[in-house]
A and B are shown apart, each in its own frame.
Chain A
Amino acid sequence: MAKPKPRIRVPKSVEAGVPFTVRTRITHPMHTGLQRDRDGNPVARRIVNRFRVRYNGAEALSVDLEPAVSADPYIEFEMAVPESGLLEFEWVDDDGSVYSLRREIAVG
Chain B
Amino acid sequence: MNQGEGVMSQWKGNSGLSRRQVLATAVAASTALSAPAVLAQGRPRVVVVGGGAGGATAARYIARDSKGAVDVTLVEPTRAYYSCFFSNLYIGGFRDYASIGHSYGALAANHGINVVHDWAVSVDRDKRSVGLAGGGSLSYDRLVLSPGIDFKDGSVPGWDLSQQNRMPHAYKAGSQTQLLKAQVEAMAQGGVYCMVAPPNPFRCPPGPYERISMVAHVLKETNPTAKILIVDPKAKFSKQGLFEDGWQRLYPGMIERIGPDFGGDKVEVRPASMEVVIDGEVNKVDVCNVIPAQQAGRIAAAAGITNDAGWAPVVAHTMQSRADENIHVLGDASHQGDMPKSGFSANSQAKVCAMAVRGALTGSKVYPARFSNTCWSLIGTDDGVKVGASYEATDEKIAKTDGFISKTGESAEVRKATYEESLGWYAAISDDIFS
Contact = CB atoms under 8 A, between A and B. Distances in A.
Interface stretch (A1-9, A49-57, A60-68): A1-9
B225 A9 contact: no
B256 A23 contact: no
B256 A27 contact: yes
A23 B263 CA distance: 11
Closest A-B pairs by Cβ, 4 of them: A27-B256, A7-B262, A1-B253, A29-B253
Interface in A1-24: 1-2, 5, 7, 9, 23
Given A2-B227, A23-B262, A29 B256 contact: no
A71 interface: yes
Interface string A70-84: 011000000000000
Contacts, number: 22
Contacts of B262: 7, 9, 23, 25
Interface in B139-189: none
B261 A2 contact: no
Interface in B220-279: 225, 227, 248, 252-254, 256, 258, 261-263
Contacts of B227: 2
Contact of A27 (B225, B253, B261, B263): B253
A5 B253 contact: no
B394 to A, nearest CB: 41
Contact of A9 (B248, B252, B253, B261): B261
Contacts of B263: 9
A71 B253 CA distance: 9
A7 B225 contact: no
A25 B256 CA distance: 10
A23 to B, nearest CB: 6
A23 B261 CA distance: 8
Nearest to A1: B253
Interface residues of A, number: 11
A1 B263 CA distance: 25
Given A23-B261, A71-B252, 11 more contacts: A2-B225, A7-B258, A7-B262, A9-B261, A9-B262, A23-B262, A25-B262, A27-B253, A29-B253, A71-B253, A72-B256
Interface of A: 1-2, 5, 7, 9, 23, 25, 27, 29, 71-72
Contacts of A25: 262
22 contacts: A1-B253, A2-B225, A2-B227, A2-B253, A2-B254, A5-B256, A7-B258, A7-B262, A9-B261, A9-B262, A9-B263, A23-B261, A23-B262, A25-B262, A27-B253, A27-B256, A29-B252, A29-B253, A71-B248, A71-B252, A71-B253, A72-B256
A21 to B, nearest CB: 10
Q: Among the interface residues B253, B254, B258, which one has the most CB atoms of the partner chain A within 10 A?
A: B253
Contacts of B248: 71
Majority DSSP secondary structure for residues of A touching B: loop
Contacts of A27: 253, 256
Contacts of A23: 261-262
Q: Among the interface residues A2, A25, A71, A72, which one has the most CB atoms of the partner chain B within 10 A?
A: A2
Nearest to A25: B262
B180 to A, nearest CB: 22
Contacts of B258: 7
A27 B254 CA distance: 9
Q: Among the interface residues A1, A7, A25, which one has the most CB atoms of the partner chain B within 10 A?
A: A7
B240 to A, nearest CB: 14
A55 B253 CA distance: 30
Nearest to A12: B280
A36 B115 CA distance: 59
Contacts of B254: 2
Contacts of B252: 29, 71
A39 to B, nearest CB: 16
Nearest to A74: B261
Nearest to A31: B252
A25 B261 CA distance: 10
